[in-house]
Structure 1
Amino acid sequence: MDDVIIIGGSFAGLAAALQLGRARRKVAVLDTGLPRNRFASHSHGLLGHDHKPPLDILAEARHQLARYPTIRLVNAWADRVSGADDDFSVVTGDGETLRARRLILSYGVVDQMPEVPGFAENWGTSIVPCPYCDGFEVAGQHWGLVWSGRQSHNQVKLFHDWTDSLTVFADGHDMPPDIRADLARRNVPVVDGRITEIAHNGGHSAVVSLDSRSVAVDILFAHPRNKPSASLHDTLGLATIETPLGVALKVDERRETSIPGIYAAGDLATPGMPSVTQASSQGAMAGIFAQQSMLV
């Protein structure tokens, strides 16, 4: 029996494994090799790894974990999970059954791309979600923002630290008059109408096409809804919280979910703006608290 099974081996899962491995705890990490940020050419904001391809960072992390004999990386997905504190069972897609005293869920989320031609194809290049991740490289240029609800108003305020040139695409949303008035006060134009196509225009730039016009921007920010990349939390009956873009697992200050012995970290349990720094920190904490919960 393992001490901990970690489901999801991206930044949060590997960070948890590192802490547990250094504590000489027996760990199995299940991963499918499809991290959410695999579409990005570079990752930014992670201390010591700024401007490196995210897949390269993960490859180096896995290489470093190889020096810990109690960590086992398993290339498989978790098909079923059952059990309770001190006796959890995970059946992989290959039919192997693993058992552990604790679980850490870090299988992340998947972005649900709208059915707009060019959106999915340009995700991670011309279309990005996070100014902390990509804003510095295009600071001072013409940004676009696809409106997704009232939370987008906060993005407008946030973007001011990077650029004074911003265009908002309403994309069919009925924007309240008070918000439109505030955007006008900030000299932020609003382009009404549904987006019909997004075309890459070299570098990060894109051309946003609508029914009656096209607008070129140097980068386009958008926040499509997302959903957990697996449904194990539903099977387990874990508590969730609603966010403007989807659901996240509810955790306490020790990263423990509503079921004792199950911890969660990374985008799966992040209601705010996710990042590799935050995922790594949460993963490390989940690993430490899981280890401390097994002390006698």
Structure 2
Amino acid sequence: MKADFDVIIVGGSYAGLSAAMALGRAIRNVLVLDSGKPCNRQTPHAHNLLTHDGHKPADIAQQALQQVLNYPTIRIKKGIATKASRDENLFKIETDKGQTFTTRKLLFATGIVDTMPEIPGFADCWGISVLHCPYCHGYEVRNEPTAIFANGEAAYEFSKIINNWTKELTLLTNGPSQLTMQQTADLHRHRIIINEKPLQQVVHDGGYIREVHFTDGTSLSINAMYAKLAFEQQCGLPKALGCEFTEAGFIKIDDMQQTSVNGVFAAGDNTTMFRSLSIAIAAGNRAGALINHQLIQEDF
């Protein structure tokens, strides 16, 4: 049976579009399925990306989409992949719109979903002034009053990193500290304040933090807050297909961007803790080239 496509890419953000471009240039028939909800849709500006530093993520994505569609063998469809199965050497993808497509190779560029704490105002600021990465956003809030929302080992390591960008730093553990005595002493030595009060609310103006309120009625004025949040995979289909995951919850891939399931690949935030546009774009480009290489090897 002949497949509808050489490759189906689930996820049409930066990793997915980068892979599509590589495959389009290799004259492969490609379908990109995209929900239209990138994880950085609240983020006002992208940084640390050569030629696009300070640009709006939506503008970068729109330009990328236009360029990808210059390749006639690439099709983009809005929709969500709801079911995946394998029939001999082909994969079958079903969508929320009732469509079914078959493909020889499958790439998941579906990203992750951050688990927001139930603190009013927190989610409204995510990606704007509640930040995940100092390399992406730290320069813009350098030397500003800043907080870190984390606890335990992750809080200690994150505090060391953020201390490079600002010395006006408070660690918010949102309850009893889980730091060791040595870690606590280290942070105090660097004049990093540890605040164990539970948070009640994040007060903001259009996503930009003004202060945080605690349950005891006190408050703290800050201009930015970094957070280490739990996450889950945006898409459950890799698990349904039998893909293995790391202990941290990422899709496990090899040096060829392939998952533990032959013919299934993954790229982007769903595979790594390094969440930046440049890394996602590079991973997508790599995945596209390696998928094409596998197809060549099978056909030659």
Q: TM-score, normalised by structure 2?
A: 0.94
1:136 paired with 2:170, answer no
Shift in Å at residue 176 of structure 1?
Answer: 2.1
| Aligned partner of 2:258 among 253, 256, 259 | 256
| Aligned partner of 1:127 among 117, 125, 130 | 130
Give the match's secondary structure for 2:246: strand
Look up the equivalent residue of 2:253 and give its one-letter code.
Answer: V
Q: Which deviations, in whole Å up to 9, do the C-alpha atoms of 1:209-265 show, x marking residues without a partner?
A: 11222111121111221111121012111100122xxx1000001110000111000
How far, CA to CA, are the matches of 2:99 and 2:137 in structure 1?
40
1:53 paired with 2:56, answer yes
How far, CA to CA, are the matches of 1:176 and 1:153 in structure 2?
9
Unaligned runs of 5+ residues in structure 1 are none
Does the CA contact (< 8 Å) of 2:33 and 2:80 recur in 1?
Answer: yes
1:185 paired with 2:189, answer yes
| Aligned partner of 1:95 among 87, 95, 98 | 98
Shift in Å at residue 105 of structure 1?
Answer: 0.3
Residue of structure 2 equivalent to 1:231? 236
Residue of structure 2 equivalent to 1:164? 167
Residue of structure 1 equivalent to 2:221? 216
Q: TM-score, normalised by structure 1?
A: 0.95
Does the CA contact (< 8 Å) of 2:156 and 2:179 recur in 1?
Answer: no
1:284 paired with 2:285, answer yes
Residue of structure 1 equivalent to 2:245? 240
| Aligned partner of 2:199 among 195, 215, 221 | 195
Unaligned runs of 5+ residues in structure 2 are none
In structure 2, relative to structure 1, the CA distance for the partners of 1:85 and 1:219 (3 Å cut) is: farther
Give the match's secondary structure for 2:77: strand
Does the CA contact (< 8 Å) of 1:24 and 1:70 recur in 2?
Answer: yes
Runs of 4+ in structure 1 deviating by more than 4 angstroms, as ranges, are none
1:41 paired with 2:38, answer no
Look up the equivalent residue of 2:140 and give its one-letter code.
Answer: E
Q: Which deviations, in whole Å up to 9, do the C-alpha atoms of 1:129-184 show, x marking residues without a partner?
A: 11111111111111110114312222111113211221111111432222111111
RMSD: 1.5
Shift in Å at residue 85 of structure 1?
Answer: 7.4
Look up the equivalent residue of 1:275 and give its one-letter code.
Answer: S
Look up the equivalent residue of 1:237 and give its one-letter code.
Answer: G
1:81 paired with 2:84, answer yes
Look up the equivalent residue of 2:77 and give its one-letter code.
Answer: V
How far, CA to CA, are the matches of 2:107 and 2:126 in structure 1?
29
In structure 2, relative to structure 1, the CA distance for the partners of 1:201 and 1:62 (3 Å cut) is: closer
Look up the equivalent residue of 2:191 and give its one-letter code.
Answer: N
Give the match's secondary structure for 2:49: coil
In structure 2, relative to structure 1, the CA distance for the partners of 1:148 and 1:285 (3 Å cut) is: farther
In structure 2, relative to structure 1, the CA distance for the partners of 1:28 and 1:49 (3 Å cut) is: same
How far, CA to CA, are the matches of 1:115 and 1:168 in structure 2?
19
Q: Which deviations, in whole Å up to 9, do the C-alpha atoms of 1:40-96 show, x marking residues without a partner?
A: 011111111111111111111111112100000011110111116741111111111
Give the count of matched residue pairs: 292
Q: Which deviations, in whole Å up to 9, do the C-alpha atoms of 1:16-60 show, x marking residues without a partner?
A: 000000010110000010000001011111111111111111111
Q: Which moved more, 1:258-267 or 1:134-143?
A: 134-143
Shift in Å at residue 269 of structure 1?
Answer: 0.8
Does the CA contact (< 8 Å) of 2:154 and 2:228 recur in 1?
Answer: no
Does the CA contact (< 8 Å) of 2:125 and 2:208 recur in 1?
Answer: no
Q: Identity of paired residues, percent?
A: 36
